[in-house]
């Protein structure tokens, strides 16, 4: 971490809440499900699909995980009723994975069952490395039971390329991203170019095996590598999708949509926007850079 990043991260607790709110507005749809559906509707008008994430990650009690589950069940009903192109992303720890794996499994089973009944796809987000194996196992079991389940692999993890074998064998829809958590060099690549190459290798291997890939990045190098693979394999747009975070690089979003690719925006919503925003800042100082730039008025690249 550079001195500048360290400075930004250590000053996060002193950033006034009202300022964090201003910053968060760009990256979070709002506090309520209605806010989230309104954002999904406006993205759909642009031609983009969405995936809804209910904010609320740091849980310590079973009741909190049940509240999160109930909000997901409500969101699934609203998504199905809306008829909009939207699915959902869930963080296994928000459903109890850090408290008790059986609790997480029960909550996720309820969510996947309801989603299957309503024709909604559920993706298990990938969190930090203590949860990698548990999340992959949960995703494989839930996919075997309900069908409508996908997972995420992080290109910075040294294990991901071999993890992909199990997922390919199950015909799993996999989101490929770089990975956002701080991991040790023992298990994760640190060099940007190596991570970009591993990202390309994962996309290539998954698509070449005939599986559906969600290519989640704002990095033009990763996008270009994926486009080269798509071109080489002569894949139709129905074989993959790009994914981007709400509020990040809307110009790249429009470029990809304008070229006929499918693209889905990750739309977080919920009352826990403050914890989400400050946690994101602490976890990834490079985000604090983007945010500091935006706050100072330079803004992320876009429009």
Q: Scanning residues 69 to 128, which ones bind ligand FAD (CB under 6 A)?
A: 125-126
Based on the shown chain and the rule CB under 6 A, indicate whether residue 181 belongs to the binding site for ligand FAD: yes
Based on the shown chain and the rule CB under 6 A, indicate whether residue 266 belongs to the binding site for ligand FAD: yes
Whose CB is nearest to ligand FAD?
218
Among 248, 267, 281, 292, binds ligand FAD (CB under 6 A): 248
The β-bridge partners of 124 are: 90
Q: For ligand FAD, which stretch binds (CB under 6 A), given 5-13, 64-72, 112-120, 282-290?
A: 282-290
- Quote the crossing angle between the two packed helices 62-82 and 101-118, to the nearest 10°: 10
Q: Scanning residues 186 to 245, which ones bind ligand FAD (CB under 6 A)?
A: 216-219, 222, 243-245
The β-bridge partners of 173 are: 150
Query: Cβ neighbours of residue 187 under 8 Å, at least 6 residues apart?
Result: 129, 157, 158, 159
The β-bridge partners of 123 are: 89, 150
Among 179, 268, 270, 285, binds ligand FAD (CB under 6 A): 179
Query: Cβ neighbours of residue 68 under 8 Å, at least 6 residues apart?
Result: 54, 56, 59, 94, 95, 107
Burial of 8 (0-12, 13-18, 19+ CB in 10 A): buried
Site residue total, ligand FAD (CB under 6 A):
25
Among 71, 163, 241, 249, binds ligand FAD (CB under 6 A): 249
From residue 22, alpha-carbon distances to 219, 246, 277, 296 in Å are 25, 15, 11, 12
DSSP, collapsed to helix, strand or coil, labels residue 215 as: strand
Task: Closer to ligand FAD by CB, 1 or 81: give it.
Answer: 1
Nearest Cα neighbor of 257 from 28, 75, 43 is: 43
Distance in Å, CB of 231 to ligand FAD, minimum: 20
Report whether 60 contacts 99 (CB < 8 A): yes
Based on the shown chain and the rule CB under 6 A, indicate whether residue 178 belongs to the binding site for ligand FAD: yes
Task: Closer to ligand FAD by CB, 143 or 290: give it.
Answer: 290
Distance in Å, CB of 235 to ligand FAD, minimum: 20
Task: Closer to ligand FAD by CB, 64 or 284: give it.
Answer: 284
Q: Scanning residues 132 to 161, which ones bind ligand FAD (CB under 6 A)?
A: 152, 154
Kind of pairing between the strands at 122-124 and 213-216: unpaired
Task: Closer to ligand FAD by CB, 47 or 77: give it.
Answer: 47
Task: Closer to ligand FAD by CB, 103 or 196: give it.
Answer: 196
Based on the shown chain and the rule CB under 6 A, indicate whether residue 300 belongs to the binding site for ligand FAD: yes
Based on the shown chain and the rule CB under 6 A, indicate whether residue 290 belongs to the binding site for ligand FAD: yes
* DSSP per-residue codes, 22-36: HHHHHH---SSHHHH
Q: What tokens does 188 get?
A: 């994760």
Q: Enumerate the active-site residues.
A: 125, 175
* Binding stretches for ligand FAD (CB under 6 A): 125-126, 152, 154, 177-181, 216-219, 222, 243-245, 248-249, 266, 286-287, 290, 300-301
């Amino acid at each position: 971490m550079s001195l500048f990043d360290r400075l930004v991260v250590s000053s996060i607790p002193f950033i006034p809440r009202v300022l964090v709110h201003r910053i968060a507005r760009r990256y979070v749809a709002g506090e309520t499900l209605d806010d989230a559906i309104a954002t999904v509707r406006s993205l759909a008008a642009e031609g983009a699909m969405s995936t809804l994430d209910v904010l609320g990650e740091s849980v310590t009690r079973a009741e909190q995980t049940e509240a999160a589950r109930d909000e997901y069940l409500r969101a699934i009903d609203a998504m199905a009723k809306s008829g909009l192109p939207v699915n959902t992303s869930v963080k296994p720890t928000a459903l109890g994975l850090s408290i008790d794996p059986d609790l997480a499994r029960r909550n996720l089973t309820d969510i996947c069952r309801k989603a299957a009944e309503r024709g909604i796809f559920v993706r298990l987000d990938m969190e930090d490395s203590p949860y990698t194996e548990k999340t992959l196992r949960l995703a494989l079991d839930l996919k075997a039971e309900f069908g409508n389940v996908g997972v995420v692999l992080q290109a910075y993890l040294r294990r991901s390329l071999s993890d992909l074998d199990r997922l390919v064998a199950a015909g799993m829809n996999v989101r490929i991203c770089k990975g956002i958590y701080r991991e040790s060099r023992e298990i994760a690549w640190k060099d940007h170019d190596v991570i970009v190459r591993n990202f390309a290798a994962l996309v290539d291997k998954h698509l070449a095996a005939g599986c559906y890939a969600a290519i989640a990045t704002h990095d033009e190098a990763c996008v270009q590598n994926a486009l080269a693979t798509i071109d080489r394999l002569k894949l139709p747009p129905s074989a993959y999708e790009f994914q981007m975070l709400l509020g990040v690089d809307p110009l790249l979003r429009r470029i990809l949509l304008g070229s006929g690719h499918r693209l889905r925006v990750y739309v977080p919503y919920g009352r826990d926007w403050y914890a989400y925003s400050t946690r994101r800042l602490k976890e990834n100082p490079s985000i604090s850079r983007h945010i500091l730039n935006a706050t100072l008025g330079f803004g992320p690249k876009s429009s």
